[in-house]
Chain A
Amino acid sequence: MSQYRFNGMLEFFSNITISHLSWIYRITRNSPYKVVSSFLLLILLSLYSLSHVRFETDIFRLFPADRPAMRLLLESLDWSGGAREAYFLLEGEADLLPAEASRLAERLRSLQVDGHPAFKRVTYRIYEESEAERFTNLIAFAAAHPAAFVPLKDAGLLAEKTTDTGIDEALDSLISQLAGSIGAAAVPVTTVDPLGFRDLVLPRLKAGSQALDMDPSSPYFLSRDGRVLIMIAEPSRPVQDMVFARKLVAGINQARQGMMEVKVSCAGAHISAVIDEAAMKSNIISCILSSLVVVLGIFYAVYRRVWPTLMIPLVLGLGVLLALGFAGLFLSSIHIISFAFMALIIGLGTDYSIHLYDRFHTERAAGIGSDEAIRLAVVDTGEGLFTAATTTALPFLALAGAEVRALSELGILVGLGVIFSLYVTLFLAPIILRMIDSPDRVYKPLPTVGMVWLWNFSGRHFRLLFYLSSLLLFIFGIFAIRISFDGELKNLQPQHSEAFRAQELVEQHLNLAPKSLLVAVDGATQAEVMHRSKAVDSLTAELRAEGKIKAWSSLGQTMNSQSEQIEIIKVLKSADITANKLKEKLLLKGFSAGSFEPYLKQIRDGSLTNLIDEAGIVRELGLSPLRGVVERHLLQDKSGWHSLTYLYFNPDQLNQKDFVHELAVILPDARVTGTDLVSDELLAAVRRSAVNGVGIGTVLVLLLLLTHFKNFKGITASLGPVLYGSVAMLGAMVLFGMKLNFMNVMVLVTIIGMGSDYGLHIQHRCAEAAPEKQREAFVQAGRSVLLSALTTIAGFGSLAFTDYGAMSSIGWATNFGVGFTALAALLLVSARLRLKA
């Protein structure tokens, strides 16, 4: 009874599909103007919807920003100035870099946009003369309040400096400095720090300001190997001002023209927004155009008809436009990379035109009238197309709920693109065919493209084919199980973009260590976050002592906490130093004590033993040339205060999961990020999306195939080649040194829908044909399948050659998958049909 009901339900769905297609056939025949008018209206609506869609270029927007590590990574990019500053990496001979940097810096400083300076500041040197006064002020503060900065381990040295001998030595050294410096250059610093406390403070401040592994002996921001010099510039307007960003980049390009001795790479949000966006757009446009040219070339080469060939761009263009317009109803923005996947529609959407036209042409060549040929193409072949399109579209649409935006947008756009391409084909192709056809037009039989030979071969050697394919499947399977996963996010980026090049240079020449972690402690007040981050400092210091990290930095490393200050103050209190004593010594050494009066007054007021509020120390640092240390480690935004600690380590030096666990024990709400942690989050999200996608996609495809064939033989014919193609795809990827990544792993989902079409079309046409008509049906369906596969490969192939690792990896994986699946469908389904016969 249930079997009967089930079959009845399948029959019902099948009848609905046929009725639907028959309606399309009738309306295109009886009311073509209504159809065209409706499409024009839809085009206008789509254009309106599309005009409200924003296209994004930021690669990080493709990934789920609500995951802890990813969210912190994005926040830190904004905090650290990564989203605000421009970076110039000069590559060349060490002797040439300073002079060339000086030239470039002068050009950048004089660069104007709309009559205003383009940059607020340009720095490439440790010490800038313009910062001399601020530097002296910081030294003055540190000398008056040594407890704020002198490391606890140097408390003994500090005590020595306050003894009689220490003071004498400091004043002698002061005289040497005054004598040895050019003119009176040393006067300002010596008067604010006569005791030379800066000798104990400056090394600590310098170490704390090092975010990159730079040559400590160089006065420039120069890598240790002397090959790369980094220049940091802050544009005067934010990146959101695209008009400014474009003019800025034009100015930058002009400024670096003629830098023959060194190579200059740029990075930063402004540069990415303009240069990489332009490169990305041209990449995508060339991708779309090249695949369109190849697809049209293939179509024309086989069918030799101009108008049907020209119909394809119309169908594809409308399919893409309607899909984008429809997607615009529920997507406020679309990433430009997702838009690139519309190139896939060229490959997939052409399939319907091929099958429909091939059937029409074949029937006309067989002497059938124009109207009946169109009916057979729309209703009979259309039924196969309908199932094929839905089996392709639904696994893509099943990705719509993916946590990773890249996959979700890919699923929505390609799924919608496939459906709209099918409907545009079904509605417009009959109208166009009626317009261009006439009863006296001669339709020559189409080339068999080797399908007759294939049919005969599979009939004669079906056993050989099965054995051979089984052997190949086994071999590919052996390789397939060795497939590995590439979790490096940077490998998904454009491999030859400026930003990628700059990132590589930093990694190779300037990174403190290959791996890093960032710990954020959040809170409502500055004092709270600074106090709580001491626990992070302690844990990190332990790791450093155990050799588990190479370096680390935090604000606590640069300045003393209140408790550390108290220890230093104890030492200073026990020292016998007074303003009068220092004054006497100064006079004895021949100094004019009046010049030191401001410093002496501070000592009289007890500055040496005063406990300084940490906020006060941070404020002084923030006003000094070392304000970058503060900006890097302590931030305030609308959510509150954030204290940041950076850890640098080699691969395998630190177990990151253990560190996260230990940190959670001592500071449960501390947040951690790093590229490995982000990769882990993404991998988990992608894994869930893949499992869900494969599950939902497979069920939907099975149901659709069951509705279409109403038996399991058809399903086997459709999905068998997919299984073969998937295993062969993974095996081929291993053989060619490719890995699965966050993007191409989804091909395992989409291949189910795309690949099942090939076996479906052959089975649909051949299984129901009379034995004597099977050969003819196979030739027609096989030709369409072959051409469909070729056009799909052309569509994805254009992606394979893009600069984007993300797109390129999808392109290659899909080409392997589609190629092997189509081959399996043509060889094995025909062999199975012959075996049955």
Chain B
Amino acid sequence: MKLLFNILFVLFITALALPSDARSLTPVEGLEALRKSFAGMNDFTADLVQEKRLSVMKKKLVMQGKIRFRKPDLFFMELFPPYNARVLLKDTVLQQRMGQNGDLQRIVLPSEQGLSHWFSTVARPVTKVPDGIEIRAEQAGQQTTVLIRPNSGGQLKELMVSLHNDGTVRKLILLERTGDRTEMNFHKIKKNVGLTEADFSLE
């Protein structure tokens, strides 16, 4: 853990030390970068390292797993033991199974939070920032970072997406109004591998 902290510290210092490499983007450019990263992709898989800093826990939760995504509306996440959880989002229907034999929970999200809604939105060329959100974006080296802040008083305070120039998402950070923070880092990313329905199963 100390090692990881040191690495992060070094990375942080490096980032501060190399400000000349970072270039601010306009909000529209930031969203365009997001859009383009998804434009040429039908599906992807990645290994996941997720860190959660939750107010209810004294220490952060670090977990590993896999994620899969397929256009237009399928997302799957699996966490390996000891946390052992699987999440499937099919457009607006969120299904979760916690533990090896946990009950299946189903929740329907409002349609504006559905995957197909998001991806149909980012499929169109961006000409202006949508109402209700604030965007900040910058490019540093081969990495583009887009920060999205909803103006409404929902649970989510901030969403940060880091993209590589190859169009893959490398990092996702969710910051909630309660102070809870979730950071997802993606590795071994593979695009357009031809995922099928069978890859999106909770069983």
Max count, chain A CB within 10 A of own CB: residue among B85, B91, B96, B98: B98
Q: Is B156 an interface residue (CB 8 A)?
A: yes
Cβ–Cβ < 8 Å partners of A596 in chain B: 56
Q: Which residue of chain B has its CB nearest to the CB of A592?
A: B58
Contacts known (A592-B57, A592-B58); A184 close to B63, Cβ less than 8 A: no
Q: CA of A783 to CA of B102 in the docked complex: distance in angstroms?
A: 85
Contacting pair A219 B180 (CB below 8 A) = no
Q: Which residue of chain B has its CB nearest to the CB of A218?
A: B106
Cβ–Cβ < 8 Å partners of B104 in chain A: 217
Flag the segment in B107-115, B133-141, B143-151, B186-194 that touches A.
Answer: B107-115
Q: CA of A182 to CA of B98 in the docked complex: distance in angstroms?
A: 12
Cβ–Cβ < 8 Å partners of B99 in chain A: 173, 176
Q: Is B93 an interface residue (CB 8 A)?
A: yes
Contacts known (A173-B98, A179-B61); A102 close to B156, Cβ less than 8 A: no
Contacting pair A184 B176 (CB below 8 A) = yes
Contacts known (A127-B107, A129-B110, A184-B180); A591 close to B92, Cβ less than 8 A: no
Q: Is B128 an interface residue (CB 8 A)?
A: no
How many residue pairs at the A-B interface have CB separations less than 8 Å? 105
Q: How far is the CB of B156 from chain A (nearest CB, A)?
A: 7
Q: Is B120 an interface residue (CB 8 A)?
A: no
Contacting pair A187 B54 (CB below 8 A) = yes
Q: How far is the CB of A62 from chain B (nearest CB, A)?
A: 41
Task: Classify the secondary structure of A's interface with B.
Answer: helix
Q: Which residue of chain B has its CB nearest to the CB of A130?
A: B110
Q: How far is the CB of A78 from chain B (nearest CB, A)?
A: 31
Q: Is A113 an interface residue (CB 8 A)?
A: no
Q: CA of A199 to CA of B155 in the docked complex: distance in angstroms?
A: 25
Contacts known (A178-B61, A187-B178); A592 close to B55, Cβ less than 8 A: yes
Contacting pair A591 B58 (CB below 8 A) = yes
Contacting pair B176 A179 (CB below 8 A) = no
Contacting pair B93 A98 (CB below 8 A) = yes
Cβ–Cβ < 8 Å partners of A185 in chain B: 155
Q: Is A595 an interface residue (CB 8 A)?
A: yes
- Interface size class of chain A, counting residues whose CB lies under 8 Å from the partner chain: 35 or more
Contacts known (A173-B98, A595-B56); A219 close to B106, Cβ less than 8 A: yes
Q: How far is the CB of A126 from chain B (nearest CB, A)?
A: 8
Contacting pair A127 B108 (CB below 8 A) = yes
Contacting pair B111 A175 (CB below 8 A) = no
Contacting pair B83 A175 (CB below 8 A) = yes
Q: How far is the CB of A196 from chain B (nearest CB, A)?
A: 11
Q: CA of A106 to CA of B87 in the docked complex: distance in angstroms?
A: 27
Contacting pair B52 A184 (CB below 8 A) = yes
Q: How far is the CB of A564 from chain B (nearest CB, A)?
A: 24
Q: Is A602 an interface residue (CB 8 A)?
A: no
Q: CA of A184 to CA of B177 in the docked complex: distance in angstroms?
A: 10
Q: Is B79 an interface residue (CB 8 A)?
A: yes
Q: CA of A219 to CA of B105 in the docked complex: distance in angstroms?
A: 9
Q: How far is the CB of A495 from chain B (nearest CB, A)?
A: 35
Contacting pair A178 B52 (CB below 8 A) = yes
Q: CA of A220 to CA of B99 in the docked complex: distance in angstroms?
A: 25
Cβ–Cβ < 8 Å partners of A595 in chain B: 55-56
Contacting pair A98 B108 (CB below 8 A) = yes
Q: CA of A180 to CA of B99 in the docked complex: distance in angstroms?
A: 9
Contacting pair B174 A183 (CB below 8 A) = yes
Contacting pair B56 A183 (CB below 8 A) = no
Contacts known (A98-B92, A176-B98); A129 close to B109, Cβ less than 8 A: yes
Q: CA of A217 to CA of B83 in the docked complex: distance in angstroms?
A: 24
Contacting pair B84 A178 (CB below 8 A) = no
Cβ–Cβ < 8 Å partners of B109 in chain A: 129
Contacting pair A217 B54 (CB below 8 A) = no
Cβ–Cβ < 8 Å partners of A106 in chain B: 111
Q: Which residue of chain B has its CB nearest to the CB of A174?
A: B56
Cβ–Cβ < 8 Å partners of B174 in chain A: 183
* A to B CB contacts below 8 Å, 9 in the list: A102-B111, A106-B111, A127-B106, A175-B83, A180-B85, A183-B52, A183-B174, A187-B178, A219-B108
Chain A residues with a Cβ under 8 A of chain B: 98-99, 102-103, 106, 125-127, 129, 173, 175-185, 187, 190-191, 199, 217-220, 587, 590-592, 595-596
Chain B residues with a Cβ under 8 A of chain A: 50, 52, 54-59, 61, 63, 79, 82-87, 91-94, 96, 98-99, 102-104, 106-111, 155-156, 174, 176, 178, 180, 182
- Pick the 4 closest A-B CB pairs, nearest first: A180-B85, A184-B180, A179-B83, A219-B106
